[in-house]
Structure 1
C-alpha cells in the first residue's frame, strides 16, 4: 500500500524539498499550501520530476480550511501515514524581528498562530487519519533557536540572538511535540521535532548557509523512522543517531 504524506507549507523551500524527497521514496505527497496557484505549481513541478504529488489547500491559521483538508484526505485515502508540520513564519508586523523590548502583542499573535496554534489544529484534525495508518509519523519542524539550552549558553553561537516571537514559538512547539509523544506513547505513532538549521529560504531572507534540501533531510529521516525509532525528541542532522539529538 502506498504511503500518504502531508507536508504543510510545501510550495517552496524546505517544505518543497521534503515533499520531493519523500516522493522519491515512493510516497504519495500532499503539497499543503494556502495559495492554490502556488500549490498547484509546486505539485506540477514535483510530478514532472517523477513524484506522485497532489495539491492540498490548507491554511493552518484557519480552522475551517484545516477541517476541509482533513475531510478531503479522509474521503480520498482514509488514512495518513506521515504529517510534517512544516508551515511556519517569522512574522511581518511591527515587533516580529526586533529585540525583546520591541516585541508587540500583534507580532506574538501572528507568529504563534502559525507556528504553534496551527500545528495543534492540524495535528488534531488529522489525528484520526494518522491513527488509521499502520504506523504513522508526525514531524514538527522546529529550530535550534527554540532550544533553551543553546540560547542560554554564552559559548553557543546562537547566544547573541535576542528576540522573542520566533524563538519563543519554537520553544513552545518543542513542548507541543513532547506532549503529543506522551499521549501517543502506547500507539505505533512517533512524534519528533526537527531542526533544519540555518537554510537559505524566504523565511531567513536567503541568509542561511545550508540549502533547503539539506534542511529537509532531518524531517525525511524522522518521517521514515523504523518501528524501534525514537519519539518525543529533538533532532538535527544525522537523526536518529545518538549524536544528532539536540537539547531542549
Structure 2
C-alpha cells in the first residue's frame, strides 16, 4: 500500500461520525465511506433492527460502527442520541443530517399527486417534520458536542430542488416537477444552513448543504442516474473539509449551487 493511500485511509481515524438515516440508501453508503476513512461511525436510524444489521455488516468488514435507534422527528430519540454520544464519546466530529422523506408522490421520478395549490396539509407537515425541523433540532441538540471537536463538520443533505433559482428557471431540469412539500422543506433547510454558518463563522465548525445528485434509492427510484457510491461522494467531501474549506455553501461535488 502506498503512503498516499494509507494516509487517505487514516484520514478520519479517531473521529466520531453520526449519520441519520444511516441504515439504507445513501445514508448507509455514507457510513461505509466514512468507516473506510477510519471514522467511528454511528449508524442512526428509526428502525433499530436495520441499524443493528448495517453496523454489524460494517464491523464484519473490519470497520468501526455502532448502531443507534434514532427517529429524528422524536424529541426523546434526539435526547437519547445526545446522552449516548456524551456518555460514550464525549464529542462529535461529524454530523450528517441525511434522513428525509418524499411524500409528494410515490418517488422523485413520479409527478406530485397534487399541484401546489392542492397539496395536503398532512404531507406538508410530515415532510417538514422530517426534512427541516428534525435536522434543525438535532443539530441544536448536538452542537455542544460538535464544539468539543477540534474541527466539527455538519453536512445537511439537501437537494437541488431546494434551490429557488432552479425552481424558478424554466431551463432547470427540476422545473417541471413542482413538489411543494419536498421543495420548500429543502429550501428551509438551506436557509438554516446559511444562518447557522454565519453564527459559527470564524470558529472551527463548518456547515454546508449538499445536493447528492439523483441517486438510485427508494426515494430516487430505479430511474435515477447515480449509484449509491456516487451519491455519497459529495457528503463525504464536505464532511472531511480541511481548515481552508468553505462554510455556509450549497454544493454538488466541487460545484457551488445557487440558492
TM-score range, shorter chain: over 0.9
Q: How many Å apart are 1:100 and its aligned residue?
A: 1.0
Q: Which residue of 2 aligns with 1:225?
A: 241
Q: Which residue of 1 aligns with 2:22?
A: 10
The yes-or-no answer on 1:32 pairing with 2:44 is: yes
- The correspondence for 2:57, drawn from 19, 35, 45, is 45
Please give the alpha-carbon distance, in whole angstroms, between the structure 2 residues aligned to 1:91 and 1:109: 10
Report the count of equivalent residues. Answer: 243
RMSD of Structure 2 on Structure 1 (CA): 1.6
Residue by residue over 1:28-57, the C-alpha shift from the partner in whole angstroms, topping out at 9 and shown as x without a partner, is 000010111010011111112222110011
Q: How many Å apart are 1:98 and its aligned residue?
A: 2.8
Aligned pairs for 1:126-205 (under 5 A) are 126-205=142-221
Please give the alpha-carbon distance, in whole angstroms, between the structure 1 residues aligned to 2:77 and 2:33: 26
Residue by residue over 1:50-95, the C-alpha shift from the partner in whole angstroms, topping out at 9 and shown as x without a partner, is 2211001111100111011111101100000000000000027999
- Secondary structure of 1:159's aligned partner: coil
Please give the alpha-carbon distance, in whole angstroms, between the structure 2 residues aligned to 1:20 and 1:105: 36
- Please, which moves more after superposition, 2-11 or 159-168? 159-168
TM-score, normalised by the number of residues in structure 2: 0.90
The yes-or-no answer on 1:206 pairing with 2:218 is: no
Q: Structure 2 unaligned segments of length 5 or more: list them.
A: 1-12
Q: Is the 8 A contact 1:196 1:216 kept in 2?
A: yes
Q: How many Å apart are 1:186 and its aligned residue?
A: 2.5
Q: Which residue of 2 aligns with 1:58?
A: 70
- Please, which moves more after superposition, 43-52 or 176-185? 43-52
- Secondary structure of 2:174's aligned partner: helix
Runs of 4+ in 1 over 3 A off after TM superposition: 92-97
- Secondary structure of 1:30's aligned partner: strand
TM-score, normalised by the number of residues in structure 1: 0.94
Please give the alpha-carbon distance, in whole angstroms, between the structure 1 residues aligned to 2:104 and 2:247: 33
Residue by residue over 1:69-127, the C-alpha shift from the partner in whole angstroms, topping out at 9 and shown as x without a partner, is 11110110000000000000002799975321330111111000000000011101110
Please give the alpha-carbon distance, in whole angstroms, between the structure 2 residues aligned to 1:169 and 1:197: 17
Please give the alpha-carbon distance, in whole angstroms, between the structure 1 residues aligned to 2:178 and 2:104: 17
Q: Structure 1 unaligned segments of length 5 or more: list them.
A: none
The alpha-carbon distance between structure 1 residues 153 and 92, as it changes in their structure 2 partners (threshold 3 A), is: closer
